[in-house]
Chain A
Amino acid sequence: MMTNPTGRLTQGQFSFLPDLTDAEINLQIEYGLRRGYAWSVEYTDDPHPRNTFWEMFGMPMFDLRDAAGVMLELRNCRQTFPHHYIRLVAFDSTRGIESITMSFIVNRPPSEPGFGLQRQEGPGRTLRYTLTPYATTRPEGERY
């Protein structure tokens, strides 16, 4: 694990930084709301980098004015899935953009075992690589 000495999942913004505190998360949400983004809460226990579609925790929150509403949903989600990955996602609905503009992890499992790299030898000198999260050897919901 030379590239990621701490074995932490690095996806989205701020993922190389120490975990954001609630106050810092609050500030990020406020920033997004000022730009007119709609926040939503998503969770998963499959850390594979190609797993882009996480489960939605409730609907995206449009027309919010204050971060307290998003924090309320986040607290609910943390209570329901304390050992899952949870991320906050900001959606910009401006015509022509209409896509995710911010995304960062706000909750992690207590231990993150990381990924195993499998090499498959093909014809000639071809090598195919497969990345397997150690956590996904167990069924969904019992991983962390």
Chain B
Amino acid sequence: MGAPDYSIPGSVAPRPAFEAVSDAAPLSVAGAARTVAAVLAESQVEAVLDELERDLVGLAPVKQRIRDIAALLVIDKLRMNLGLQAETPSLHMSFTGNPGTGKTTVALRMAEILHRLGYVRKGHLVAVTRDDLVGQYIGHTAPKTREVLKKAMGGVLFIDEAYYLYRPENERDYGQEAIEILLQVMENQRDDLVVILAGYKDRMDTFFKSNPGLSSRIAHHLDFPDYTVDELQQIARRMLAQRHYHFGAGADAVFRDYLERRIRQPHFANARSVRNALDRARLRQASRLFAERERELGQDDLTTLLPVDLLASRVFADTQP
């Protein structure tokens, strides 16, 4: 008695194919692209890759890996158009690297690339840490983790400092429960979301060692190298240009000197340290200009960072009397 025995006008006609109506697949399979160029043109993934190349300094191994992944996805698309077997590749990733090496930035781009290629449907990034996944009392963790996973579906789930999820010193820690739910969804709903775990290299390594199930379900382990001094300087120039500042005469060389000293000091956080250093230089420039009450300030005065602004830094403390 479940199905009605009357017929509805129009219901006999074949239902429209689900794929064609939904915005789920930006690439139409019916169009049947046969060349790499055609797929690239359709998905505009090349634009994202170029942007990645242009906007991000250094990170050569990471860029190469992203190109490889994009190539595989394009070829899979072609195989699918020809009706060949192309199972959804496992796209879960782990980003390891020192602080400030651009893990979050690349993750955002990754979501964009995967979306253009049609492997995630919405292309949004949900960034979470341990607090968002692990609950505070028994029975709290599972709904909390599931809620986050549901929000991330159709996009990318970025778990920052993922090693905090597992705390071996406390055997009743709820982090393990979150990991198990995560694993289950990563395995069963591979085409619904992509999980990216990020964290510092050494701690991620121990994290993966203690959770072999997690490590084996992640196909791509990307290691973010530290920036060289040249790259950091390039980054600094870009940051300044974005905020309409520039280095004055001699400031470039002073900043290079600053970087070389800063790298040797503890807690160096690559691009983040550069940004902080520039922010402090801006503060000093502001108070330097502030002191000259009567002077008329032109555009050049307001946008130039002089060597004085940098030399006042704590890093140069040992060279100055």
Contacts and interface: CB of A to CB of B under 8 A. Distances in A.
Interface of A: 5-8, 16-19, 21, 23-24, 26-27, 30, 58-59, 61, 63-70, 72-73, 108, 110-112
Contact of A5 (B5, B147, B189): B5
A66 B21 contact: no
A18 B122 contact: no
Interface string B141-168: 0010001011101110000000000000
B137 interface: no
Contacts of A112: 1-2
Grouping DSSP codes into helix (H, G, I), strand (E, B) and loop, the B interface class, with mixed when no group exceeds half, is loop
A17 B88 CA distance: 34
A21 B3 CA distance: 12
A63 B128 CA distance: 14
Contacts of A68: 121, 150, 153-154, 189, 192-193
B153 A7 contact: no
A8 B22 contact: no
A65 B2 contact: no
* Residue of B3, B4, B11, B18 with most chain A CB atoms under a 10 A cut-off: B4
Interface in B9-29: 11, 15, 18, 21-23
Interface string B96-128: 000000000000000000000000011010000
B60 to A, nearest CB: 33
Given A27-B21, A72-B150, A72-B189, A65 B122 contact: yes
Contacts of A6: 1, 3-6
